């Protein structure tokens, strides 16, 4: 018997289903039975293919989450190359587009950032993967890109805070779609995403659009 529909292996099918469920509900709220029932395979297959539930969760990050992170990064670099320059405006635009519109489906993007948020609020072993192999390298790259354009008086710490601020916006608008929709008052559709990217670029470059120089 093949798992689920299609020609995927049981192992891959388990990873796929597990990612969705872990992202939606969190590790503890998902049972092995729910995973194997959804994947239409036997209860024991989780332990057969991954040893235990915890290792399955870890492999979701190793084999699926990391892959998506690489897609996003590749998309960012492609976007940036298409800009012709590496000005802060181009960098932020490329980054926001890769993260908000990017190469992933809406569903994948939601899962990706939900898993990320879960690891940040209650870190497990997967946190190291997210942190060391994705965030740190990305942030260091951004730091290098921004550095030549920032005032000389800006030290490394302040640059990092700036990057973290941009990141916090992207993160928030990705995982908190429900509250964002509630506040804004309309759907999280393609038009809104375009607007969001533009907003993130504008805000990151200029902050609030205030009238006077009360800055």
Residues in contact with DNA by the rule CB under 7 A:
1-3, 9-11, 30-34, 41-49, 51-54
Instruction: Find the shortest distance in angstroms from Cβ 117 to DNA.
Output: 21
User: Site mask, a copy of itself, residues 2-41, x = CB under 8 A?
Assistant: ----------------------xxxxxx------------
Minimum CB distance to DNA smaller for 34 or for 133 = 34
Q: How many whole angstroms separate alpha carbon 11 and alpha carbon 55?
A: 13
Minimum CB distance to DNA smaller for 47 or for 190 = 47
User: Site mask, a copy of itself, residues 134-173, x = CB under 8 A?
Assistant: -xx--x------x--xxx--x--xx-xxx-xx-xxx-xxx
Report DSSP letters for 17-76, one per residue.
HHHHHHHHH-GGG--HHHHHHHTTS-TTHHHHHHSSHHHHHHHIIIIIIHHHHHHHHHHH
**Binding partner of 53, given a copy of itself, DNA, none, CB within 5-8 angstroms per partner class:** DNA
Judged by CB under 8 A, which stretch of 1-9, 56-64, 94-102, 123-131 contacts a copy of itself? Answer: 123-131
How many residues contact a copy of itself, by CB under 8 A? 64
For 207, counting Cβ atoms within 10 Å of its Cβ (0-12 exposed, 13-18 middle, 19+ buried), the class is exposed
Q: Is position 58 an interface residue for a copy of itself (rule: CB under 8 A)? A: no
Q: How many whole angstroms separate alpha carbon 71 and alpha carbon 75?
A: 6
Question: What is the Rg, in whole angstroms, of the alpha carbon atoms belonging to the chain?
Answer: 20
Q: How many whole angstroms separate alpha carbon 210 and alpha carbon 5?
A: 55
Q: How many whole angstroms separate alpha carbon 198 and alpha carbon 92?
A: 10
Cβ 182 vs Cβ 82: under 8 Å: no
Give the total residue count for the chain.
215
List the interface residues with a copy of itself, window 65-94 (CB under 8 A). Answer: 87-89, 92
- Which residues bind to a copy of itself, rule: CB under 8 A? 24-29, 87-89, 92, 114, 117-118, 120-123, 127, 131, 135-136, 139, 146, 149-151, 154, 157-158, 160-162, 164-165, 167-169, 171-173, 175-176, 178-180, 182-184, 195-196, 199-200, 203-212, 214-215
């Amino acid at each position: 018997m093949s798992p689920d529909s299609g020609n995927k292996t049981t192992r891959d099918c388990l990873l796929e289903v597990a990612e969705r469920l872990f992202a939606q509900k969190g590790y503890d709220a998902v049972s092995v039975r729910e995973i194997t029932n959804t994947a239409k395979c036997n209860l024991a297959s989780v332990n057969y293919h991954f040893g235990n539930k915890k290792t399955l969760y870890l492999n979701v990050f190793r084999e699926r989450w990391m892959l998506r992170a690489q897609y996003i990064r590749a998309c960012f670099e492609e976007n940036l190359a298409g800009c012709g320059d590496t000005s802060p405006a181009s960098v932020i635009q490329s980054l926001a587009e890769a993260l908000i519109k990017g190469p992933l489906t809406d569903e994948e993007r939601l899962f990706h950032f939900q898993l990320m948020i879960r690891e940040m609020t209650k870190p497990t072993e997967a946190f190291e993967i997210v942190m060391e192999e994705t965030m740190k390298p990305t942030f260091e790259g951004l730091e290098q890109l921004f550095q030549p354009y920032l005032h000389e008086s800006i030290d490394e710490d302040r640059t990092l805070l700036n990057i973290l601020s941009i990141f916090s916006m992207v993160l928030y608008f990705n995982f908190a779609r429900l509250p964002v929709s509630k506040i804004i008052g309309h759907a999280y559709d393609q038009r809104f995403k375009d607007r969001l990217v533009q907003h993130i670029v504008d805000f990151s470059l200029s902050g609030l659009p205030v009238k006077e120089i009360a800055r």
